[in-house]
């Protein structure tokens, strides 16, 4: 497997110029690379914590390449031939055999390593002022199944250390730039008095973490703020957007449709929605096709990924959008803002997982999933109307695991899987129990639909959607 070298830098900081030296060295050696900018989060150590998010995104973007991360202040002096031969999951250098140096890291592009990165993202969010390489070193200790290759010191040479002839050299720009990247963070900067009195600290996502809290204080905070379940962490509710709780009368004790981005979306028609009164939640860009059908149903678009920016903007439908992505829709009045953490989710969760958890919390009785082709037919392509191939976000084979993930999120709420335009025999698998609804589904199946009812038991799901 080939490799790609990646780095990131923060905009409007000295690193914007520093990274040009790295880019020039990569171009001179004709090394494949992807260097990306991120917004300054206010402090050097918090900006450094972007690292696992960035690497995760690069791994998804280049599913056939292994990933070599280097810091923005690095320069590649010689072609790094070793990266062609590493078989282990991770390649990293331990200075004097003890301290992990995170300036150069090799990542095998495998599901196991992606899972490790999810753990790193989560840990970094919870400990944003802890140096990223300390968190990563502890994660490797906690995951002994991860195979580690100790890189030679020449692959992460610090410019003023005696570490041999450099292959990749680091110039420790943080010593010069730490104070220059500090800025006033404007999101929820006015800490309420109750948080101040109880020693809270503000995290980069706008939430407040308390080291300890009494039952009475927790009850008071729960009344006025949004608590992250099972944590001593609260959000100040945004004053923007509409309250998602206002949707409860639409969803309570009612089925709802969820529309995915599978290839059958291209042939979707009004007739595929046999119930014209229940809510329809279109996942991301599928809203553009759904709105062309002029359905009388209440129509919503749900967007979780802030990386999609405003590409899911509806023409008229209401938008259910995560707090992070809502920043792209400041001018869109008809939006309901949610915090994924409220539903035991994270920023890395699937949009369809978010749709299920939001609708489930609002009291929906049955999920009818339309155009989730990969979950039934194993067709992992996107509809042409989406406008880009399913490979853009990583290997499409990842979709084959989504059925199990969605069923576990649904818990005891039944899922009906609907494939548009198919006349096939009903398929069953080990993840579905049909109960008394099976024969009814067979009897009622029309020429345009295939229904599969799924009902799975409740399970313990943590913040990153790991099962």
What are the tens digits of pLDDT across the range 8-58? 998 878 788 888 989 999 999 999 999 999 888 777 778 888 999 999 999
Predicted pLDDT of residue 145: 94
Which pair of structure tokens corresponds to residue 114?
A: 């992606």
Domain 2-181: which topology? Spore Coat Polysaccharide Biosynthesis Protein SpsA; Chain A (3.90.550)
Name the phi and psi angles at 291, rounded to 5. Answer: -65, -20
The angle formed by the CA atoms of residues 250, 253 and 258, to the nearest 5 degrees, is: 65
Looking at every residue in the chain, the average pLDDT score rounds to 82
Where is average pLDDT lowest: 127-136, 306-315, 404-413?
127-136
Contacts of 397 (CB under 8 A, 6+ apart): 380
Q: Is 197 helix (H, G, I), strand (E, B) or coil?
A: helix
Predicted pLDDT of residue 438: 30
Query: Helices (DSSP H) in 215-341: which residue ranges?
Result: 215-224, 248-251, 286-292
Residue 467 pLDDT more than 50? no
Query: Helices (DSSP H) in 29-188: which residue ranges?
Result: 44-48, 51-61, 111-126, 132-142, 174-177
pLDDT-derived band at 196, boundaries 50, 70, 90:
confident
Of 90, 234, 231, which Cα lies nearest the Cα of 148? 90
pLDDT-derived band at 274, boundaries 50, 70, 90:
very high
| pTM, entire model | 0.52
Length in residues, the chain: 467
Q: 254 with 279: CB under 8 angstroms?
A: yes
More confident residue, 388 or 236: 388
Residue 183 pLDDT more than 50? no
Name the phi and psi angles at 149, rounded to 5. Answer: -100, 125
CB atoms within 10 A of CB 122: 19
Contacts of 144 (CB under 8 A, 6+ apart): none
Where is average pLDDT lowest: 185-199, 232-246, 272-286?
185-199
Could you give the percent of the chain with pLDDT greater than 70? Answer: 83
Contacts of 27 (CB under 8 A, 6+ apart): none
Contacts of 147 (CB under 8 A, 6+ apart): 87, 88, 89, 90
CB-neighbour burial class of residue 320 (10 A; exposed 0-12, middle 13-18, buried 19+): buried
* N-to-C CA span, the chain: 29
Predicted pLDDT of residue 440: 35
Task: State the Cα–Cα distance between residues 318 and 139, nearest whole angstrom.
Answer: 41
Highest mean pLDDT among 18-22, 198-202, 231-235, 380-384: 380-384
Task: State the Cα–Cα distance between residues 3 and 109, nearest whole angstrom.
Answer: 9
Predicted pLDDT of residue 466: 29
DSSP-based helix, strand, coil % in the chain, nearest 5: 35, 20, 45
| In the chain, domain spans | 2-181, 193-235, 244-454
């Amino acid at each position: 497997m080939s490799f790609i070298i990646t780095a990131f830098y923060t905009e409007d900081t000295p690193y914007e110029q520093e990274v040009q030296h790295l880019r020039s060295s990569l171009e001179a050696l004709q090394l494949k690379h992807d260097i990306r900018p991120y917004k300054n989060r206010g402090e050097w150590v918090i900006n450094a914590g972007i690292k696992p998010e960035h690497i995760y995104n690069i791994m998804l973007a280049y599913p056939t390449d292994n990933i070599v991360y280097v810091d923005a202040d690095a320069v590649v002096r010689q072609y790094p031939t070793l990266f062609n031969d590493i078989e282990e999951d991770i390649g990293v250098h331990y200075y004097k055999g003890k301290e992990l140096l995170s300036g150069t890291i090799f990542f095998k592009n495998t599901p196991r390593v992606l899972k490790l990165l999810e753990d790193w993202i989560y840990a970094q969010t919870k400990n944003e002022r802890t140096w990223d390489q300390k968190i990563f070193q502890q994660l490797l200790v906690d995951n002994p199944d991860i195979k580690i290759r100790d890189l030679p010191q020449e692959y992460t040479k610090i410019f003023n250390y005696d570490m041999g002839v450099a292959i990749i050299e680091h110039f420790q720009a943080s010593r010069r730039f730490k104070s220059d990247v500090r800025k006033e963070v404007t999101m929820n900067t006015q800490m309420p008095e109750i948080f101040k009195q109880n020693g809270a600290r503000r995290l980069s996502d706008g939430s407040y973490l308390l080291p300890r809290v009494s039952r009475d204080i927790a009850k008071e905070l729960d009344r006025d703020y949004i608590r992250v379940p099972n944590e001593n962490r609260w959000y100040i509710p945004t004053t923007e957007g509409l309250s998602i709780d206002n949707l409860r009368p639409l969803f309570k004790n009612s089925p709802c449709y969820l529309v995915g981005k599978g290839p059958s979306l291209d042939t979707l028609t009004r007739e595929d929605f046999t119930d014209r009164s229940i809510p329809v939640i279109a996942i991301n860009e599928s809203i553009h096709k759904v709105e062309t059908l002029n359905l009388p149903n209440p129509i919503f678009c749900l967007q979780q990924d802030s990386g999609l920016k405003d590409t899911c903007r509806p023409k008229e439908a209401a938008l259910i959008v995560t707090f992070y992505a809502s920043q792209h829709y400041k001018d869109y009045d008809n939006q309901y803002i949610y915090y994924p953490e409220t539903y035991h989710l994270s920023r890395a969760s699937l949009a369809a997982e978010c749709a299920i958890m939001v609708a489930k919390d609002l009291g929906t009785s049955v999920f009818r999933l339309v155009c989730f082709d990969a979950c039934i037919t194993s067709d992992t392509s996107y509809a042409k109307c989406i406008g880009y191939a399913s490979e853009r976000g990583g290997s499409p084979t990842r979709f084959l695991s989504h059925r199990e993930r969605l069923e576990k999120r649904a818990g005891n709420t039944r899922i009906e899987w609907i494939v548009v335009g198919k006349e096939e025999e009903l398929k069953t698998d080990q993840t579905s129990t049909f109960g008394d609804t099976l024969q009814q589904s067979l009897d009622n199946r029309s020429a345009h639909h295939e229904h599969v009812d799924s009902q799975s038991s409740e399970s313990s799901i943590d913040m990153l959607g790991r099962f």
